[in-house]
Amino acid sequence: MIPVDPKYFFSIGVFILTSVFAFAQNNTNIGFESGSFNGWDAYTGTCCPVNISSTGFVSTQHGITSGLMTDTNTFNLVTAVSPGSNYSCKLGNADPSAESEKLKYNFIVPSTSTIIEVSYAVILENYPHPTVKQPRFSFSIEDSAGVNIGCDMEIIAGDPSIPFQSNGIIQFLPWTTSLVDLRNFAGQQLTLTFVTGDCEPGGHFGYAYVDARLLSAEINSTVCDSIGMVTLSVPGGFYTSWMTGDTTASIQFPVAQSPDMFQVSLSGDMGCEVILETDIKDLLPVTEFTTDKNCELLNQFYIGLNNASNNTYYWDFGDGTSVTGTDPLHAYVQPGIYNVTLTVTTQGGCTDSTSLQIIAGSDLNATVLVPEICEGKEVLLTSSVTSGFSIPVSWNWVLDNVSYNSSSVSHVFNEPGYHMFSLLVTDDFGCEYELTDTMMVKGADACDQHHLYMPNAFTPDDNGINDIWQPYGDVEGDYTLLIYNRWGEVLFQSNTIRSGWNGRSSSGKSLPVGTYIYKVLTKTEFYTGIINLIR
């Protein structure tokens, strides 16, 4: 088996039946299948050489054959009708009278890819005459200008290159085929001619049985099954050579090993090669598709460019709805993650499916916890991002035209008043949420009215930055700091303002991300609030 590209494998397998179909003989009788000589012209004359002198049918020299009759001069090995036909023609007879016979048929080559199969069985008496005087048979095909298009044949008694069988001095050639490629003559008129002749002295006969049919030179797919094998077939009776090296009329191989282009050579018993080929890739369904509307509820889907127009496309959007068509537009009602499945069925019945996970819309949401902000003092700004099905992966802050790229940032506002800020959050699907707002920065004098400043968040990740939570300011006299969880359990206690909380319990266990409650008692004041522990 030749090397192939595995991308054309699909799960359920393919069975491709390749065949050459005979044309229905609409208004044509090139194979005598009307049981008559309709469309044929007949001639008679002498031999040898063949000298045609009369026009018209002579019943003893031009005859339609049918049924199961056999030729007694061939030990009854030669049937009077070509295998696979209902009627043929006997041209000439067994009377040794130096006669010659001719049949001629004009036909228009169909516009579709066409070859012609010419069949003949030849019976000649071989007497030691010179070759030019021996009985003979020939066929040829000519164009409208009388030019021979090639692959013609002449058979003369005594020719050692012909695989004759013998019955005394009678030599006979059983039914034999020649294939002639007509694909370069589509729409043109051609003429098929058969000729037989006795020997020149007139003592030895020569005659033949003849037939012909037009065949399609196309390779067609017909059916599919689930065994995962491709079967390619051509009619038997011809010399067959596949590009794989096989010589049988049918070959079979796994679809996963199928090349794009498949080629087979056919020839009759007497030579003349005809090459047939097909693009297997075009016979198989292509299920790849894309969408350019990720993160939006309205989605446009596009099939792969290699798909044939006569395929059937079935879309399952993963939300309980489906549709058929090539490039559908679909609106989702709820944001979420959906598995979209495309099933492609070819005209021959081959089916394959593929799925693509998409995100429709986005429920990404971000808020910013804004503490009291004082002029000239560093403040920690923390974002809180929620989503039902995605994970935030990047943050982009802009504060006073300065950019930061983390979930929380420390910044110093050097001027009091309202300051614009923006935050752009991106999740793991590439969806974005943008928040734009203003925050109030208090002047230094206003902030000095408070003895202590309580940060609203910290990040105890041992990187040396914002690892400890503690109040800022000066305290005179008694001081107590208590940290609680949501259930009221004391996690940390300190009696000095310079000793802050490192995010651990009293036993030293690192506590999870979340919100915690602080209480600060001094001689004259009491503070309480919420701390956001962020890692």
C-alpha count within 13 angstroms, C-beta hemisphere, residue 112: 12
Residue 122 placed within a domain? yes
User: What is the tens place of the pLDDT at every residue in 340-370?
Assistant: 999 888 766 677 788 998 889 888 888 887 7
CATH code, domain with 372: 2.60.40.10
User: What is the tens place of the pLDDT at every residue in 440-476?
Assistant: 888 877 676 556 788 889 899 888 888 999 988 777 7
User: Which 3 state secondary structure label does DSSP give 522?
Assistant: strand
User: Which 3 state secondary structure label does DSSP give 47?
Assistant: coil
- Report pLDDT for 193: 98
The answer to whether residues 331 and 471 belong to one domain is no
Q: What is the pTM of this model?
A: 0.55
Residue 193 placed within a domain? yes
- Report pLDDT for 219: 64
The answer to whether residues 55 and 159 belong to one domain is yes
Residue 223 placed within a domain? yes
Residue 131 gets which letter from DSSP?
Answer: G
User: Which 3 state secondary structure label does DSSP give 184?
Assistant: helix
Q: State how many domains the chain has.
A: 5
Q: pLDDT higher for 155 or 486?
A: 155
Which among 184, 216, 248 is the end of a domain? 216
Residue 268 placed within a domain? yes
Tell me the helices (H) and strands (E) count for the chain, helix number first. Answer: 2, 38
- Report pLDDT for 200: 95
Tell me what percent of the residues of the chain surpass a pLDDT of 90: 47
Q: Nearest-CA neighbor of 186 among 236, 116, 84, 118?
A: 116
The answer to whether residues 165 and 119 belong to one domain is yes
The answer to whether residues 209 and 226 belong to one domain is no
User: What is the tens place of the pLDDT at every residue in 15-33?
Assistant: 333 333 344 334 489 999 9
For the chain, the residue count is 535
Residue 173 gets which letter from DSSP?
Answer: E
Residue 521 placed within a domain? yes
Q: Nearest-CA neighbor of 535 among 436, 444, 461?
A: 461
Which among 320, 339, 360 is the end of a domain? 360
pLDDT value at 282 more than 60: no
Which among 425, 449, 473 is the end of a domain? 449
The answer to whether residues 394 and 477 belong to one domain is no
Q: How far is the C-alpha of 79 from the C-alpha of 87, rounded, in Å? A: 11
The answer to whether residues 462 and 438 belong to one domain is no
The answer to whether residues 341 and 383 belong to one domain is no
Q: 357: which 2 tokens?
A: 């996970």
The answer to whether residues 121 and 175 belong to one domain is yes
pLDDT value at 13 more than 80: no
Q: Nearest-CA neighbor of 104 among 55, 34, 150?
A: 55
Residue 35 placed within a domain? no
User: What is the tens place of the pLDDT at every residue in 381-397?
Assistant: 888 888 888 889 999 99
φ, ψ of residue 132 to 5 degrees: the values are -65, -15
Q: Where are the alpha helices (DSSP H) in 248-353?
A: 280-283
* pLDDT band, residue 309 (cuts 50/70/90): low
C-alpha count within 13 angstroms, C-beta hemisphere, residue 423: 24
- Mean pLDDT to the nearest integer, 59-72: 96
Sort strands 457-458 and 526-533 into parallel, antiparallel or unpaired: parallel
CATH code, domain with 464: 2.60.40.1930
CATH code, domain with 100: 2.60.120
Q: How far is CA 315 from the centre of its chain?
A: 16
* pLDDT band, residue 477 (cuts 50/70/90): confident
- Mean pLDDT to the nearest integer, 259-274: 81
Cβ neighbours of 427 (radius 10 Å): 21
Per-position DSSP letters for 470-484, written without gaps between them: --EE---S-EEEEEE
pLDDT value at 7 more than 60: no
**Separation of first and last alpha carbons in the chain:** 59
The answer to whether residues 304 and 247 belong to one domain is no
User: What is the tens place of the pLDDT at every residue in 126-171?
Assistant: 999 999 999 999 999 999 999 999 999 999 999 999 999 999 999 9
The answer to whether residues 434 and 456 belong to one domain is no
The answer to whether residues 159 and 65 belong to one domain is yes
Q: pLDDT higher for 523 or 306?
A: 523
* pLDDT band, residue 305 (cuts 50/70/90): low
User: What is the tens place of the pLDDT at every residue in 420-441?
Assistant: 999 999 998 888 999 998 888 8
- Report pLDDT for 288: 82
Residue 26 placed within a domain? no
The answer to whether residues 223 and 92 belong to one domain is no
User: Which 3 state secondary structure label does DSSP give 208?
Assistant: strand
The CA dihedral of 44, 67, 271, 73, to the nearest 10 degrees, is -70
Q: How far is the C-alpha of 368 from the C-alpha of 423, rounded, in Å? A: 9
Q: Nearest-CA neighbor of 42 among 61, 28, 30, 55?
A: 55
User: CA-based angle 527:530:534, to the nearest 5?
Assistant: 135
List the domain range (segments joined by +) for residue 134.
Answer: 40-216
User: What is the tens place of the pLDDT at every residue in 195-221?
Assistant: 999 999 999 999 999 999 998 877 655
Q: pLDDT higher for 335 or 445?
A: 335
Sign of torsion, CA 122 127 132 133?
Answer: negative
pLDDT value at 404 more than 60: yes
Q: How far is the C-alpha of 307 from the C-alpha of 150, rounded, in Å? A: 39
Residue 4 placed within a domain? no
